[in-house]
Amino acid sequence: MHGSSIALLLAAAIAWPSAIHAQGMSPAMADGSNAMGLQAAPVDKAMKQGMMKMRHDMAAAPTTGNPDHDFVAMMLPHHQGAVSMAEVELKYGHDPEMRALARDIVGAQKREMAQMQAWQAAHPAAIRN
């Protein structure tokens, strides 16, 4: 390859994400494909599926008007989303620092989820404020 061909390829590679963004598309689509319709890597697909489930479950959480109940109802799927993302890091990640952080996140989020579930069990009546 000539120097000008390499320069042209580099310029296209640098410009491509900006062109995709300008068209309102994401370089990695939620269905596991990227903006070019190519299948995303398993780690990308797993992260996106976890994020989509978390968003769906948070939006579907029953709200009562009671801020304490509603907080817990929405935080539980939020925490589960953090656990799911951390588990993807543990499955695919290589960096020891990030893997240790992911393990810490799993432990902390699960403890907090257990605390919220216990609170829900002790406070079953939702009072509209």
Query: 119 is written with which tokens?
Result: 């609170």
Answer whether 83's CB lies under 8 Å from 76's CB.
Answer: no
pLDDT at 17 over 60: no
Answer whether 53's CB lies under 8 Å from 81's CB.
Answer: yes
pLDDT reported for residue 16: 43
Query: 10 is written with which tokens?
Result: 């580099």
Q: How confident is the model at residue 42 (pLDDT cuts 50, 70, 90)?
A: confident
| pLDDT tens track for 46-97 | 889 988 998 999 899 988 889 999 999 999 999 999 999 999 999 999 999 9
State the DSSP code for 70.
Answer: H
Q: How confident is the model at residue 127 (pLDDT cuts 50, 70, 90)?
A: low
Of 61, 56, 55, the C-alpha closest to 74 is: 61
Task: Report the distance separating Cα 93 and Cα 99, nearest Å.
Answer: 7
Contacts of 36 (CB under 8 A, 6+ apart): none
- Residue with the two structure tokens 């902390």: 108
Q: Is the pTM of this model over 0.85?
A: no
| pLDDT tens track for 95-114 | 999 999 999 999 999 999 99
pLDDT reported for residue 21: 45
How much of the chain, in percent, has pLDDT values that exceed 90? Answer: 49
